[in-house]
Every structure is written in structure tokens, then in C-alpha cells.
Chains A and B, each alone.
Chain A
């Protein structure tokens, strides 16, 4: 598996080796993903979760694949849109810190579900 996990989730850092840990917010994490997509990295998992509740999670992990010579515009579009959507939902909210552990756990579980999809072709 030639993937990198961009994450600000300490639980993911603890469990995996191929991690680029972001000591910061979800937004910082998404921005790092964007920068790397613009450097040609393949976007393996979608930057957002499937539910609004997880939009409020203070942790997010995104899987990137190989670095290609050329930027893939589908990926660029998806990460840009994701950042816009993320900001729209969270700009007026405070971070939910009381449930940090649960958010870490669910983020990790959802990440692992993604990792278990199609490992070989990555």
C-alpha cells in the first residue's frame, strides 16, 4: 500500500506508520491535503464524511495515494469544494471538546473502512 494518511487525529498517528500528522485543526488538515493534491498527489478518500455530525468532528483523516506528475482536476475540485463546505458548517460553531475521544474513535473507524476498500490497486 503506497498511501499516506493526512490526519490530525492522534489515535490514527498511534496506530499507523504512513501518517503525516497535522498538529492543528481539521481545516489545517484539509488545507494540507489541498496543497498536496496540487503537488500531484492522488486523492484516495473523500475529504469529507457522509454526515453533518461528522462535519463537527475536531478530527479528520484523509488518504492520499501516489504522487503523479500532473494534477488531477477532479481531485482538485473535490478538495476545494470540501473546504468551502467545511467552513460553511463550522465557522459559527465551537469545537466539541467534550466528545473528543469518541470523535477520534469514529474517525479512526471510518478511516479503516476506507482503507479496507480496494487496497491492491492503490
Chain B
């Protein structure tokens, strides 16, 4: 499978009358996009805005972040199985508006969180302060069920990314990155002496606001599935997960999965990268046991020497992570875990309550309870009232001047468990 990602560097973003990229400036046809999104009768209103790195702007509550892209060759444009007809992802050519992002905003339920600060202290904690963001705030018609509401917002974000992405159709990319890998047999024949490494990517798949989709299939219903890494890098995986702000994998992070990129970089040099197993995280223990057995079985069938396991979320998925780790290590397959931790506000607690001796190699994305102080913004995109929710119901969290104290768990992408960000914890 061969995928060429053409990066068109975006240096600015503005709303206008047409959708285009000129000299790195992305212009979005405001009315055109609103009209396009309103084709969905469930949408009452759409409000578009832009947020640029360095501006004193706060976006809240963020639902998802999506990279705008356009398919140039092979497959279908958009998100196959969702916004377009089923097609094979991961082949051909795709242009991306590199440095731009569509950020969907809006409440499905009242306790939603997820903040992106574009400047200062808050900007350090989220990777999405460095992207030029087109914010899409969706309000829906009355009487929608929560499921329909969530779906409306999710699809609107994807459609917006598709609409904006078209601007890159006829633009020559600034940089082209090729992701190419033959069959497992071919690659193993090429690199017979390199250790075979799998990537097991855990996904939250537990119901409303806690879902992930592959080609539009709700991953709650699947057994762990083998994906070619190119498929995920090419729009096959979508986030429907809007409550684990700090450690969820947004659609953008699926499209640019950092573990896949960094494993790819070593493919043929230090390792033989076999592919990705998409691992659903179930609510039931039976589901967790089944999934961990299944991952081990796939790893064995593929002859893996090592598995990189990344978690999504916090709480019950910790059990899945350690189950997979234990089973693999006992079977002689090396594991490398990526997770985040709760060491308490003061950092004095033991990070993992459930410990496993087998978990010897762990990367930490940081302490989800670390408190950050965010100064007041000049402008708030989204729902200013959500800030009180985000502060999280403890004294002194929201000061009168608008200064906000919150735990990292409210900041989008801050403690990424696919290692997308550069935060960690160290013993002091």
C-alpha cells in the first residue's frame, strides 16, 4: 500500500467569499460552508469563526478537531463510509492543509469540557494552539435525541473539513511524504533480521460521547481489527469521543497518529512495522478479557516480537491496558505502553492504582490532575458558561477577573496517550 501525503503549509486563515489557498493563506467561503452544513435539517444554526496562534482566544467546549484534506488520487474524497461512499483508504494521493484545523464546538450535554487556549500559559498545554483553527459552532433543532445531536455535530465537523479541504485540490504541496509498505511477507523477506513490531491502538468504545468509528462502523461492535497504518493516516478512523478532553484521540490525531508516524520512521531501519490493531475498550469485563486474548492471538499469528500499546481515556481502560500488557509479556512479546497518570493534585499519589510488574516500559503523558492557571481571554468562542463547568466545582477555580484554574484533564490533547504532545511526569 502506498500513500502520498502532500502537505500544503497554511500560514493564515480567514473567512471570505470563496474557499482557496493562496500563498499559504486559507480562505473559507463562509456563507457557502454554512449553507452546505445546513443541508442537514437537524442543524438550526452554524456559527463560524477563526482562532489563530497567539491570539488571546479561548475555544470551549471543543468536540473534535479535524484536519482539512482532499483526495487527489485513489479512493474517495472525504471520510469513506461516513461522508462519502465506501472506498479503500490508505492508497493514492491526499493533499492536506497542513497547519489548519477544523474545531467543532458545542454542547451535547451540560457538563462538557475541552478547552483550547490560543495564547500564553494555556497554549503550552494543547497541541491545537499551534494550528490555524476554523471553529464550527453548531446548534441543533429542538427535540433531537442526544444520540442524534452528537451525530449531527460529529458529521458537521467532518463535512466542514471536507469542504475546506477542497481548497487544496489544485495546489502544489510544499512537501510530499510517502508512506509505503508491502505485505507482511514481503516486508519480512526484505528485513528478515529486524524485530517485528505491532501497534495496538486502544479506542474508547462505550456508548454516547464515548465512541470511535472505523469506516463509519461503530467500533464498539468489532473484535480487534488489523489495519494497515496508511488507512488510519488517510481518514479511516473517526472520533466520536467528546468527554475525555486531555487524553482522547481526536480525529486530527487519528489522521496524524504520532505512534504510527514514529514507527514508520523506523521501519526498515530498526524495526519491521507490521501494522495496527484497533482495540475496542469495552465496559464489561468479559469484553476486556476477550479483547486482550484477541490482541495476543493476533500478535502471535503475525509473529510480533513487540507491541506498542496506547490507551485512550482513563478509568476502566486502565484494566484493558494492563491485561494486554500482562498477556503479551507472559507470552514473551515485549510491550511498550503509552498512558497518562493521576498522581493527585500535589503529584504525591502513586500513579497507577492497578500495577503490573510486567509493565516495565511505560511512557507517561503527564498527570491529569495537574492544576494549571489560565488568565482571562479577550474573546471566547463557544459557550462561556461552560468555563464554570470546566473549572470543576472546587473553591477558587474561577476568579472574578476571569482567571481560570483547572486540571489538565479539561485541556484538549494535554496528556495525549498516543504521545502526540510533549508533556510527561518525572519523579521529584
Contacts and interface: CB of A to CB of B under 8 A. Distances in A.
Contact between chain A and chain B defined by CB under 8 Å? yes
Interface of A: 43-57, 63, 74-75, 77-78, 81-82, 84-85, 88-89, 92-96, 98-99, 101-103, 105-106, 109-110, 112-114, 117-118, 121
A113 B220 contact: yes
- Please give me the 6 A-B residue pairs with the lowest Cβ-Cβ distance, nearest first: A113-B207, A46-B316, A48-B315, A51-B244, A102-B109, A114-B283
11 contacts: A46-B285, A48-B316, A49-B206, A49-B210, A50-B313, A50-B314, A50-B316, A52-B409, A82-B315, A89-B369, A106-B146
B284 A50 contact: no
A50 B353 CA distance: 15
Contacts of A57: 111
Given A52-B315, A96-B111, A81 B146 contact: no
B394 A93 contact: yes
A78 B244 contact: no
- Main secondary structure on chain B at its contact with chain A? loop
A54 B243 contact: yes
Interface stretch (B51-59, B127-135, B185-193, B342-350): B342-350
B285 A96 contact: no
Given A51-B313, A56-B111, A94-B393, 6 more contacts: A50-B312, A51-B244, A75-B285, A99-B110, A109-B146, A113-B283
B319 interface: yes
Interface of B: 109-113, 146, 204, 206-210, 220, 241, 243-248, 281-288, 312-319, 342, 344-345, 349, 353-354, 368-369, 389, 392-394, 409
Nearest to A109: B208
B111 A110 contact: no
A117 B283 CA distance: 9
Nearest to A54: B243
A96 B391 CA distance: 11
A111 B217 CA distance: 21
B286 A117 contact: yes
Given A48-B316, A51-B244, A89-B342, A81 B389 contact: no
Contacts of A95: 393
A114 B244 contact: no
B209 A106 contact: yes
B394 A94 contact: yes
A53 B244 contact: yes
A58 B13 CA distance: 42
A1 to B, nearest CB: 13
A45 B283 contact: yes
B110 A44 contact: no
Given A51-B243, A77-B354, A117-B282, A96 B393 contact: yes
Contacts of B314: 50-52, 55
Nearest to B313: A50
Given A99-B110, A105-B109, A117-B282, A49 B316 contact: yes
B393 A45 contact: no
A96 B353 contact: no
A110 B207 contact: yes
A110 B208 contact: yes
A111 B286 CA distance: 15
Most buried by A among B109, B111, B344: B111
Contacts of B220: 113
Contacts of A105: 109, 146
A98 B110 contact: yes
B262 to A, nearest CB: 25
Contacts of A43: 285
Nearest to A43: B285
Nearest to A94: B393
A99 B353 contact: no
B285 A44 contact: yes
